[in-house]
Amino acid sequence: MNRKMLIRLVIDLSMTVLMLVAMAYHITGNTIHELVGVLLFLLFIAHNILNRRWYKTIFKGKYNVRRILSIVVNLLFLVSMAVVMISSVPISRDIFPFFPINNDMILLQIHVMTSYWGFIFMAVHIGMSWGTIFNAVRKMTGITSTSRIHTIVLRVIAVLIVVYGVQASFERDMLYKLTIYNPFGWNFDESSMGFLIDHLSIMGIYISGTHYVLKFVQKRDKTRLTRSS
């Protein structure tokens, strides 16, 4: 693995971890939440700088299902994160306390709602690159061979994660949080481990779903090309 790919993986992993920590506001408290938000913002900028060439290719070449989905998801992820960062400044109480706003409820709702959308788009974004990430991790760990048993085990684990993630989505009212959400409706008695497991499982829905949908589309396209030739 080259150095640039390693840096990208470290930044992406760090962003994922920080995103989860930032969403655990009721566990970490406001000061840590804002500090993590600043770090997440800086890493997000670094991520886009490292991938700046992607923006130059948006209007070039042919479009297929995978590329259209990639463009839509990446742009929506960019917009949602931009809204999260912009809305965080006026409602800040520790790092940017010099923006006096008497009624910040609307901004707070926008901040929380778009953060959950960013969370979903991040998971889909990871799912689109899951094959590349998985292969990079295999090279790092020295695992070069695969077997049918390993593949079956991994798929069973993926199914279990998705099933648990669906249950966690209902229990945590994810649909409500993605539409109209009361930002003060948190469970302050929740454990950190419970929060982490539930949200990683919810991420698993979109990572696995995106990965296998794209594999199906790719397989279908190959079949069409074989038949046409």
Question: How many Cβ atoms sit within 10 Å of the Cβ of residue 216?
Answer: 10
pLDDT, tens digit, 9 for 90 and up, residues 93-149: 888 876 666 657 788 888 889 999 999 999 999 998 887 777 777 776 666 666 778
Output the CA torsion 32→93→199→46 (10° steps).
-70
The pLDDT of residue 229: 60
What is the value of pTM for the model shown?
Answer: 0.85
CA distance to 45, 110, 112, 150, 194, per residue, from 92 (Å): 20, 14, 13, 47, 27
The pLDDT of residue 12: 87
Question: How many Cβ atoms sit within 10 Å of the Cβ of residue 229?
Answer: 5
- Supply the angle between the helices 192-228 and 65-91 in degrees, to the nearest 10: 150
pLDDT, tens digit, 9 for 90 and up, residues 39-86: 999 999 998 888 888 888 888 888 888 888 889 999 999 999 999 998
The pLDDT of residue 35: 94
Over residues 175-180, the mean pLDDT reads 82
The pLDDT of residue 33: 92
Residue 136 structure tokens:
């990079």
User: Which amino acid is located at 1 in the chain?
Assistant: M
The pLDDT of residue 182: 59
Using CA atoms, how far apart are residues 225 and 208, in angstroms rounded to an integer? 26
Q: Under a CB-based contact definition with an 8 Å cutoff, are residues 220 and 180 in contact? A: no
Name the residue with higher pLDDT: 17 or 131.
Answer: 17
Residue 133's nearest CA partner among 53, 16, 225 is 16
Confidence of residue 191 (pLDDT cuts 50, 70, 90): confident
The pLDDT of residue 40: 93
Confidence of residue 5 (pLDDT cuts 50, 70, 90): confident
Strands (E), 53-93: none
Q: What angle do CA 217, 219, 223 make, to 5 degrees?
A: 115
Q: Name the 3-class secondary structure at 165.
A: helix
First-last CA distance in the chain = 36
Using CA atoms, how far apart are residues 94 and 74, in angstroms rounded to an integer? 31
Using CA atoms, how far apart are residues 76 and 191, in angstroms rounded to an integer? 31
